[in-house]
Amino acid sequence: MNMPQNRLWVKKELRLLGSIQLMTSLIIQSLGYFWTYLFFSQSIVFEKGSEYFPAIGTSGYSLWSSFLFSTSGSLSIILQRRPSNDMLIWTLTMNILSVFATLIGLYLTTFELTLASKIKTPIWQYRSARMLTVYILLFTILEMFVAAMATEWTCKARQTDEENRKEPIRLL
């Protein structure tokens, strides 16, 4: 007796998107470590009452978001290699959470950059912090597009799987 084949269809490019998510998470995490090092090593400049409000550094965005991005990227790679319904649901959930994390990151970085743009002092710590925040913003935007694309592909795979299950099995 033949076992039924797994009819779950997942794009081959999902592995590439998962790899991009992993690399993006590592870059955001590294930038966050640099930002945190700058914040703590130059704490006199960033003390309370200063002109610069470090929203990225104090929220820990780069640390918790990189965890979400790397998890969703890993699940995307695993889903493409070993497709299953459970893995599809986990991948879809983690990519949706990644999209929400990028929206929070976009808010935090634009908030920080808006406040930092009003500062006219040329202190190198402020300039370095703005530069790191801009890089985090760019990679957050990249992650948002990648996670949205992976979410779309996994949604289509789920819909296709549900449609295939509704078809009656023909016996010859």
How confident is the prediction along the chain (172 residues), in pLDDT tens digits per residue?
A: 443 445 556 667 888 899 999 999 999 999 988 888 887 777 776 666 567 777 887 888 988 999 999 999 999 999 888 888 888 899 999 999 999 999 999 999 999 888 878 777 677 777 888 888 899 999 999 999 999 999 988 888 887 766 666 655 444 4
Q: Is residue 2 part of a domain?
A: no
Residues 119 and 52: beta-carbon distance below 8 Å = yes
- DSSP conformation letters of 86-108: HHHHHHHHHHHHHHHHHHHHHHH
**What distance in Å separates the CA atoms of residue 48 and residue 50, rounded to the nearest whole number?**
6
Q: Is the alpha carbon torsion for 104, 80, 158, 160 positive or negative? A: positive
Domain of 22 in residue numbering reads as 14-45+55-161
For 3, which DSSP code? P
- Whole-number Å distance between alpha carbons of 53 and 55: 6
Our count of domains for the chain comes to 1
In this prediction the pTM is 0.82
pLDDT score for 55:
82
Which pLDDT value is given to residue 100? 96
